[in-house]
Amino acid sequence: MSVTFAKGFSASGVNTDISSNKEKLDLALVVNNGPLDAAAGVFTSNRFSAAPVQWSRKAIANGHIKAVVLNSGGANACTGEAGLKQSADTAAKVAEVLSGENVVAPDDIAVCSTGLIGELLPLDHVLAGVDKAASTLCDTEQAGIDASTAIMTTDTKPKTVKLQGTGYRVGGMVKGSGMIAPQLATMLCVITTDAMVDAAQLQGVLATATEKSFNRIDVDGCMSTNDTVLLLASGASGVTPEPQEFAGMIHDACASLAHQIIGDGEGSSHDIKITVNGAETEDAALACARAVAGSNLLKCAIYGNDPNWGRIVSTLGTVPADVAAYEPEAVTVDINGVRVCEHAGAGIDRSQVKMEAREVDIDIDLNHGSQSASVWTDDLTHEYVHINADYES
Amino acid sequence: MSVTFAKGFSASGVNTDISSNKEKLDLALVVNNGPLDAAAGVFTSNRFSAAPVQWSRKAIANGHIKAVVLNSGGANACTGEAGLKQSADTAAKVAEVLSGENVVAPDDIAVCSTGLIGELLPLDHVLAGVDKAASTLCDTEQAGIDASTAIMTTDTKPKTVKLQGTGYRVGGMVKGSGMIAPQLATMLCVITTDAMVDAAQLQGVLATATEKSFNRIDVDGCMSTNDTVLLLASGASGVTPEPQEFAGMIHDACASLAHQIIGDGEGSSHDIKITVNGAETEDAALACARAVAGSNLLKCAIYGNDPNWGRIVSTLGTVPADVAAYEPEAVTVDINGVRVCEHAGAGIDRSQVKMEAREVDIDIDLNHGSQSASVWTDDLTHEYVHINADYES
């Protein structure tokens, strides 16, 4: 159901020939019909943030967003002043077509783009697409699916979520497959709710949820210039949610979408969950898990169904002692439940590890405390190289 | 000529069935026949350092090493107390076979191993190999080549260097192809000289040389447990070198060997030299160059002969401002001499960049100072994935 599951939202996805694929839906519109227009956002920390990121960060600063326009087929990143004007013109066009009895201002509109870095968009196609998208807005399930399809690039399937709260709903969509690294958010994500929540509460809930979800996945260690996560509240349910339940729902929505990104990571054949237990602090556990998740050699081994624990501990050994305290001799490693490494040496023979399933669980115990953290990644495959050597993105 | 080019050294390389390849030379011996036995070493900073690294670090502490025994076919890393005993037993065996009029002690012997992590060596094969290697020691060119061949794993060719100083010589060999990251040294390297130099001077010269050579290459971002660089002086030339010339020669030897590693990086089709100019400090330049060198997406693009500057600036944008100061708008990027990015946007059309040559030069100017640094890396190819998904190392 995607973004239209929550009441008060309509959406559409249209083809407007932005991308080289003339068949593919490539422009999505998500409109918040109210009564509220509360919004929160989390953006990439990349210093070369794209024009739409710069635009949307300003637009959302006052806590109000009435609509989001998203395109695939071009990132509008590293495009200078001309790129900034394209994002502004796109927002102005959406504001214009949505204005009726009530005037909608350009800074009520968030803009998201994804695709090749370094080239301007074909703006006439984008503006024509906005007209087309506005004329097909709908609150049906299909409209939500169309929107989530229009933002796909190397994604092989739309990624959506719907969750039922106590008297209110949460829906969402995300795109992301490559250029995924855990330094704020992921590619493009819009989450909607019909709960009655103000912008300040949304921002707090979203920041916490992204930290524990999108910031804990890593397809290829490469951070995007366009990462954007938006959370919009329409208040259409009339229900003010119990804060803890609401925070849990937003977390669950983000976690589901993050997991779907890993499940559709470029060329991947295994989802790899790396959990570090027994750390002095959560930060120490996270640093270790992220280091292991970044090992190309490990990711290749998992692709080859090889439970190569040597590539796990050799990567763990690169984490400085002042970042994560542990004694190498005390560390244990389990792969899919088999203790393949203990006392800094071989444990149960690794031939005992079953590697057929898509999910591979790597559990590291530092035996140096009680804190833990998990990071998800994908294996590194021929198909990943193929996609990224031949696809211009 | 490898390690036998300098006078006062003999070497050998033999097959002793350590590895699964029954034909391959897999054990090398390098003996310093004096009159000096001065030595210096630089080792991996990995916290899971291998047994031979732990052994050799202690052995070299007094500045004296008479011989180095090196094996491929097994890293003897993460092998606990039993692994440490294997390194000690190997050193004792070498000391025994080399003892004649003058007694050689086990701690006069350095030990190096490379191969699969997490398994003990077949010690009887290693000890028998030491006998065989000792009986074939020779100071010929072929003996040096045999030694450099015996330490190869996924390397496709032996890597050696010879340099003539003013009245003295420097020779060397290295192995390394994958699991190469710039956090101290590389895989296994032995450099020999017949100059009259003491251990303290050797250590200073070697530390500086490795910092600017082996620490500036990165095949796959994965640090080994076994990295060892040894520098041995026999004094057989009778010449005390001019210090600056000698430092320059050791640097040149390390730089040549480091470059050969990149030229033989696992599965690589391009050597990529990333130079960052215009930085406030050399450390800032180095941090930026290393970040770009670590981008899987860039490395895939180069494999596809795609001068994708968007993947360069998006990686540059992940370096925190307190690590490297710059204004994104001021950054320029040249690929093979073509200015493809300026003013945070597209410059000359990237179709103008010629990508046929093996070497690809990426020159980034931060325009924020006068310091610079270069890092070498390889592209990321199908063959890299194939080697590391199917090869157990």
The amino acid at B350: R
Interface probe for A, chosen from B47, B295, B391 (most Cβ of A below 10 Å), is B47
CB pairs under 8 A between A and B: 199
Distance from CA of B323 to the nearest CA of A (A): 13
**Is 70 exceeded by the pLDDT of residue A303?**
yes
d(CA A18, CA A27) in angstroms, rounded, equals 8
Average pLDDT over residues A208-220: 84
Which stretch of DSSP H or E encloses residue B54?
helix B51-59
CB contact under 8 A, A318 and B385: no
Residues of A (118-157) whose Cβ lies below 8 Å from B: 118-119
Interface of A with B in 289-348 (CB under 8 A): 294-297, 300-301, 303-304, 306, 308-311, 313-319, 321, 328-329, 341, 343-346
CB A292, CB A362: distance < 8 Å? yes
Q: Between chains, do B297 and A385 touch, taking CB under 8 Å as contact?
A: no
Residue A7: per-residue pLDDT:
97
Kindly report the CA angle at A127 between A125 and A129, in degrees rounded to 5? 65
Helix residue spans in B224-366 (DSSP H): 243-263, 282-293, 296-303, 310-316
Inspect the interface and report whether the beta carbons of B47 and A309 lie closer than 8 Å: no
- Cα–Cα nearest to B179, from B153, B161, B157: B153
User: Cβ contact (<8 Å) for A315 and B222?
Assistant: yes
What is the per-residue pLDDT for A275?
97
Q: Write down the catalytic residue from B186, B210, B228, B332.
A: B186
- Is B133 in contact with B29 (CB distance < 8 Å)? yes
Give the angle A330-A331-A332 at the CA atoms, nearest 5°.
120
More confident residue, A389 or A276: A276
Instruction: Look up the ipTM and state it.
Output: 0.84
Q: Tell me the pLDDT band of A102, cut-offs 50, 70 and 90.
A: confident
Nearest CB to B297: which of A222, A300, A310?
A222
Compute the nearest-CA separation of A317 from chain B (Å): 4
Q: Is A22 on the interface with B (CB under 8 A)?
A: no
- Residue A94 backbone phi and psi in degrees, to 5: -65, -45
> Which chain A residue is nearest to residue B301, measuring alpha carbons?
A389
Cβ atoms of residues A360 and A312 within 8 Å: no
Whole-angstrom distance, CA of residue A133 vs CA of residue A126: 10
Residue-wise pLDDT tens digits, A340-381: 999 878 999 999 999 999 999 999 999 999 999 998 999 999
Each residue's pLDDT tens digit, A78-100? 898 999 999 999 999 999 999 98
User: Given this model, what pLDDT does residue A331 score?
Assistant: 95
| CB-CB contact of A309 with A355 (8 Å) | no
Residue A45: what residue type? S
Query: And the tokens for B274?
Result: 């990333």
Is B224's Cβ below 8 Å from some Cβ in A?
yes
Specify whether B186 is catalytic: yes
Spacing of C-alpha A36 from chain mean position: 25
A82, A117, A344: residue with CB nearest B310: A117
Q: Which of B79, B222, B224 sits opposite A295 (nearest CB)?
A: B222
Within 8 A by CB and 6+ apart from B95, the residues are: B104, B105, B106, B108, B109
Q: How far is A2 from chain B (nearest CA, A)?
A: 29
- A319 neighbourhood in chain B, CB within 8 Å: 47
Q: Do A318 and B223 touch (CB under 8 A)?
A: yes
- Per-residue pLDDT, B389: 86
Name the strands in the sheet holding B159-164, side by side, starting at the edge strand that comes first in the sequence: B38-43, B228-233, B188-193, B169-175, B159-164
Q: Active-site residues of A: which are they?
A: 186
Across the interface, which of A183, A313, A388 has its CB nearest the CB of B78?
A313
Burial (Cβ within 10 Å: 0-12, 13-18, ≥19) of residue B34: middle
The reported pLDDT for the residue numbered A294 is: 87
Cα–Cα distance list, A151 to A62, A145, A148, B345 (Å):
26, 10, 6, 23
State the helix-helix crossing angle for B296-303 and A382-390, rounded to 10 degrees. Answer: 70
A35 touches chain B (CB under 8 A): no
Q: What is the pLDDT of residue B135?
A: 97
Distance from the Cα of B330 to chain A's closest Cα (Å) equals 11
Please give the Cα distance from A186 to A205 (Å, whole number). 17
Is it the case that residue A255 has pLDDT exceeding 80? yes
Q: Confirm or reject contact between A78 and chain B (CB < 8 A).
A: yes
CB contact under 8 A, B221 and A295: yes
What is the crossing angle of helices A80-98 and A51-59, to 10°?
50
Cβ-contact B272, B377 below 8 angstroms: yes
Alpha-carbon separation of residue B125 from B19, B86, B122, B132 (angstroms): 10, 12, 6, 10
A264 contacts: CB under 8 Å, gap ≥ 6:
A155, A156, A157, A159, A177
CB B350 within 8 Å of CB A78: no
Contact B79 A222 (CB under 8 A): no
Of B223, B328, B346, the CB nearest to A314: B223
| More reliable by pLDDT, A247 or A184 | A247
The whole-number pLDDT of residue A391 equals 57
B82 touches chain A (CB under 8 A): yes
Interface test with B, best of A78, A288, A303, A384 (most B CBs within 10 A): A78
Sign of the four-CA dihedral B302, B305, B309, B314: negative
Q: Which two tokens stand for residue A346?
A: 């071989």
Q: Rounded to a whole number, what is the distance in Å from the CA of B201 to chain A's nearest CA?
A: 29
Residues in contact with A195: Cβ distance below 8 Å, sequence separation at least 6, in sequence order: A165, A168, A169, A170, A233, A235, A237, A239, A240, A241, A246
- At B387, is the secondary structure helix, strand, or coil? helix
For the residues A118-139, what does the mean pLDDT come to?
A: 96
Low-confidence stretches of chain B (pLDDT beneath 70): 1, 178-186, 219, 221, 391-393
Q: What is the SS3 assignment for B128?
A: helix
Nearest to A304 among B80, B316, B389 (CB): B389
Q: Which residues in chain B are contacts of A83 at CB distance < 8 A?
A: 345
Of the candidates B268, B70, B214, B72, the residue with the CA atom closest to the CA atom of residue B152: B72
Residues A33/A143, Cβ–Cβ less than 8 Å: no
Kindly determine whether residue B345 and residue A82, on different chains, have CB atoms separated by under 8 Å: yes
Which residues in chain A are closer than 8 Å to B355, comparing Cβ atoms?
A: none
Which residue is it, tokens 């009159």?
A: B35
* pLDDT recorded at residue B1: 64
- Say yes or no to pLDDT of A135 above 90: yes
Q: What is the pTM of this model?
A: 0.86
Q: Is the pLDDT of residue A202 over 60?
A: yes
Cβ-defined contact of A316 to B47 (cutoff 8 Å): yes
With CB atoms and an 8 Å threshold, state whether B300 touches A225.
Answer: no
| Backbone dihedral region for residue B373 (phi beyond 0: left; psi -120 to 50: alpha; all else: beta) | beta
Say which range, A190-204, A314-328, B191-205, has the weakest mean pLDDT: A314-328
| Mean pLDDT for chain A overall | 92
Res B178: pLDDT: 65
Q: Which residues of B touch A380 (CB under 8 A)?
A: 296, 385
